Amino acid sequence: MRRLIVSEFVTLDGVMEAPGHDPHIDGRNTWAIAHTGPDQQTYKSNEVYEAGALLVGRKTYEIFAAFWPTAPNDDGFADRMNSIPKYVVSKTMKTATWQNTTILSGDAPKEIAKLKEEPGGDIFLYGSADLVNSLIPHDVIDEYRLMVFPVLLGSGKKLFRDARDTTHLQLADTHTFESGVTVLTYQPADRAPTSKYVEEYAWSPEQMQSWQAAQNADRVLATVLFTDIVGSTERAAELGDQEWRRLLDRHDRAARSEVERFHGRFVKSTGDGILATFDAPTRALRCAFDLGGSVKDLGISIRAAVHTGEIEIRDDDVGGIGVHIAARTLGHAGGGDVVVTRTVRDLATGTDLGFRPLGVFGLRGIPGEWELFAASTM
């Protein structure tokens, strides 16, 4: 029976995106190529020659199909990439122009399980993080080969999703190249590991109370403001990476200025928005209104959410249930909206502030139901 082997380039901080010249939103590509030596090239070439087929998702397919047909034919590597049977998992692709490609548009785990039963060499899955994560729960992956590069990239798509069930693996092999890049080969474990230290290092009630007391010392009451740019994905595609980066920089400068003007704390940029905190809900609201007006000059629109509650101070960041509530509330805001929780409505002061009821909603991951309002100036 053929095996399905996931073979990936990955940084130390878990990023798999743009190891070559394919685009990266922050321009941080070619991190794998920069660390590649002849011994690594030979390793990957042998891998492709030993493979019976390649499996990819649509995005990786599009990158490969644009590059390999006209790529330098280093020791026949490009010829092999072009001639080997390829399978692309996509429910929307109608035709595949890259030679010897078959589209799998049905139930991917079932179709891949059938492919594994066919004669031939092992199937290698490259890139395609979404496809990898979708297959893990179905136990069709037989091996993971992670080529780990000594790079902390800082941004980019991660290979493994944060929100997924625990999967236990066992180390089957390691190999280190002259560059310091290491291949870690893992296979599914038969059972979850056990150790006497799980019990020996269990926290006592006293230790837990001590830790909780320390956490509570870093909790404060604050008003949290989240914003993001409306239609950011479409705008980024329209402008291109460089122009989009310049626009984000101008947006962030405007946001920092407005937060400072209203005596808030600019916690961080969230990519296409901001997270800030204030000591009063009215200041957060007025900052949101004025920031919305400021960025109109940049040709963009934002949406915002405000909540007042307890938050945790974490060095240069913030966390806790109050932050999560504000983040989930943002999902109920439309373009140009400033949406607030009832807490903010009850605390905010000012005769020029208006609050229109939006209804009662469940916020994902937050207990209970929450009454939300669209805030405005009258």
For residue range 72-93, list pLDDT tens digits in order: 888 888 999 999 999 999 999 9
Q: Specify whether the CB–CB gap between 345 and 373 falls below 8 A.
A: yes
Residue 351's pLDDT is: 72
For residue range 285-333, list pLDDT tens digits in order: 999 999 999 999 899 999 999 999 999 888 889 999 999 999 999 999 9
Q: Which helix (H) or strand (E) holds 104?
A: strand 101-104
Q: Hey, CA dihedral for 201, 203, 204, 209, is it positive or negative? A: positive
Q: What is the CA radius of gyration of the chain?
A: 25
CA pair distance 73, 80, nearest whole angstrom = 9
Q: CA-CA distances (angstroms) from residue 119 to 48, 125, 134?
A: 17, 17, 24
Other beta carbons within 10 Å of 288: 25
For residue range 146-161, list pLDDT tens digits in order: 999 999 999 999 999 8
The hierarchical CATH code for the domain 215-377 is: 3.30.70.1230
Confidence tier at 162 by pLDDT (50, 70, 90):
confident
CA pair distance 268, 108, nearest whole angstrom = 39
The average pLDDT across 160-171 equals: 88
DSSP label of 204: P
For residue range 1-23, list pLDDT tens digits in order: 999 999 999 999 999 999 999 99
Q: Which helix (H) or strand (E) holds 25?
A: none
Other beta carbons within 10 Å of 6: 24
What is the number of helices (H) and of strands (E) in the chain? 12, 16
Please state whether 237 falls in left (phi above 0), alpha (psi between -120 and 50) or beta.
Answer: alpha
Ranges of CATH 3.40.430.10 domains, the chain:
4-188
Confidence tier at 216 by pLDDT (50, 70, 90):
low
What topology is assigned to 4-188 in CATH?
Answer: Dihydrofolate Reductase, subunit A (3.40.430)
pTM score, whole prediction: 0.63
State phi, psi for 193 to the nearest 5 degrees: -70, 155
The answer to whether residue 40 scores a pLDDT higher than 90 is yes
DSSP label of 95: -
